[in-house]
């Protein structure tokens, strides 16, 4: 295993960079981070539509969430691979194809996190904001969303871990991330498959375990802060 890391460690970390394209775990993290960042605005719209008053936007957001939670990511990648070149009229690089699929896929999961964050706030928050004269939109923007976002932070970090794990499948369309690198190493050294894939697993484990630990820390801190600030309410409101 040490040998695999010594000979191919940089391939797993950054691909053939700086002499070639960036790859390895760096691209995995880049893909997951961009996926989260780009899907977040969509997720906020979905979350707002899911709890909103307009019936049709609520139906549309619900359908979006259920559809993309129910289809495997591989199928969404196939769709992106097939649809994107036709819509844009040019050849779309593998990274952009994978990123688009991940943004659509993650927006459904993040949308549910946003919805839970908004619904987890005491209803008095919205009522108070409305009663001091804020419009629904301003009340959401200045009162509800900032509080909900603070409460969602642990879930968002956990979702980041899920996204990192989900990106491992995009090597099938040729994105040069860390699983792709491991497949390359496996083709150079076919008699060391177990070592190669265990090393790959260790890479993912280290990254995901550390980020999960961060999520747990944030959750503990959030819980202690919330206990200090608000006494338990008789209605039993709790953040999910």
Partner 1 sequence: MVFDWTFLTGAGVATKLFSGVVTTLQLFAAAWIGGLAVALVIVALRAISFAPLGWFMRLFVEYHRNVPTVVQIMVWYFGVPEILPAPVQLWVNRSQSEFVFAAVALSLNVSAYYSEDIRSGLRAIPHTQIEAARAIGLSAFAAMRYVSIPQALRIAVPPLLNRTLILFKDTSLAMVIGVADLTYQVKAIENLTFRSFEVFAVATFVYLTFSLAIMGAGAWFGKRFPPGFKS
Piece of 44-52, 112-120, 128-136, 178-186 that binds partner 1 (CB under 8 A)? 178-186
Binding of residue 208 to partner 1 (CB under 8 A): yes
Which one, 18 or 236, has the nearer CB to partner 1? Answer: 236
Piece of 7-15, 37-45, 115-123, 199-207 that binds partner 1 (CB under 8 A)? 199-207
Q: Torsions phi, psi of 134, nearest 5?
A: -75, 145
Binding of residue 141 to partner 1 (CB under 8 A): no
Q: How many other C-beta atoms lie within 10 A of the C-beta of residue 206?
A: 11
Piece of 12-20, 32-40, 46-54, 179-187 that binds partner 1 (CB under 8 A)? 179-187
Non-local (6+) Cβ contacts of 137 within 8 A are none
Binding of residue 204 to partner 1 (CB under 8 A): yes
Contact 118, 148 (CB under 8 A): yes
Binding of residue 149 to partner 1 (CB under 8 A): no
Which one, 152 or 164, has the nearer CB to partner 1? Answer: 164
Non-local (6+) Cβ contacts of 199 within 8 A are 1, 4, 5, 12, 182
Piece of 9-17, 114-122, 140-148, 164-172 that binds partner 1 (CB under 8 A)? 164-172
Tokens 């409305």 sit on residue: 130
Q: How far apart are CA 222 and CA 50, in angstroms?
A: 25
Secondary structure element (H or E) that encloses residue 196, with its range: helix 193-229
Binding of residue 165 to partner 1 (CB under 8 A): yes
Q: In the set 27, 116, 161, 181, which binds partner 1 (CB under 8 A)?
A: 161
Binding of residue 26 to partner 1 (CB under 8 A): no
Q: In the set 10, 62, 125, 168, which binds partner 1 (CB under 8 A)?
A: 168
Q: How many other C-beta atoms lie within 10 A of the C-beta of residue 166?
A: 19
Non-local (6+) Cβ contacts of 121 within 8 A are 144, 147, 148, 151, 237, 239
Q: In the set 51, 186, 189, 226, which binds partner 1 (CB under 8 A)?
A: 186
Nearest to 36 by CA among 157, 142, 190: 157
Q: Using CB under 8 A as the criterion, what x/- string covers residues 35-74 for binding partner 1?
A: -------------------------------xx-xxxxxx
Binding of residue 234 to partner 1 (CB under 8 A): no
Contact 45, 65 (CB under 8 A): no
Q: Torsions phi, psi of 107, nearest 5?
A: -60, -35
Q: Which residues bind to partner 1, rule: CB under 8 A? A: 66-67, 69-75, 78-79, 82, 86, 161, 164-169, 172, 179, 182, 186, 191, 193-198, 200-201, 204-205, 208-209, 212, 236, 238
């Amino acid at each position: 295993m040490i040998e695999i890391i010594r000979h191919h460690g940089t391939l797993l970390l950054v691909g053939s960079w700086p002499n070639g394209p960036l790859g390895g775990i760096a691209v995995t993290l880049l893909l997951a981070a961009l996926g989260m960042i780009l899907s977040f605005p969509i997720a906020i719209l979905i979350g707002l539509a899911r709890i909103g008053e307009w019936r049709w936007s609520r139906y549309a957001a619900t359908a979006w969430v259920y559809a993309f939670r129910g289809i495997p990511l591989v199928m969404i990648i196939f769709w992106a691979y097939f649809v994107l070149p036709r819509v844009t009229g040019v050849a779309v690089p593998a990274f952009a194809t994978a990123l688009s699929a991940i943004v659509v896929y993650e927006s459904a999961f993040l949308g549910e996190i946003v919805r839970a964050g908004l619904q987890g706030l005491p209803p008095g928050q919205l009522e108070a904001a409305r009663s001091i004269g804020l419009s629904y939109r301003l009340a959401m923007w200045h009162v509800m969303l900032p509080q909900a976002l603070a409460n969602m932070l642990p879930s968002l970090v956990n979702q980041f871990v899920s996204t990192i794990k989900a990106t491992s499948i995009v090597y099938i369309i040729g994105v040069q991330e860390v699983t792709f690198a491991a497949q390359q190493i496996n083709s150079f050294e076919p008699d060391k498959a177990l070592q190669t894939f265990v090393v790959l697993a260790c890479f993912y484990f280290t990254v995901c375990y550390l980020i999960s630990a961060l999520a747990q820390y944030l959750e503990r801190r959030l819980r202690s802060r919330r206990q200090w600030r608000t006494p338990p309410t008789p209605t039993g409101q709790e953040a999910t």
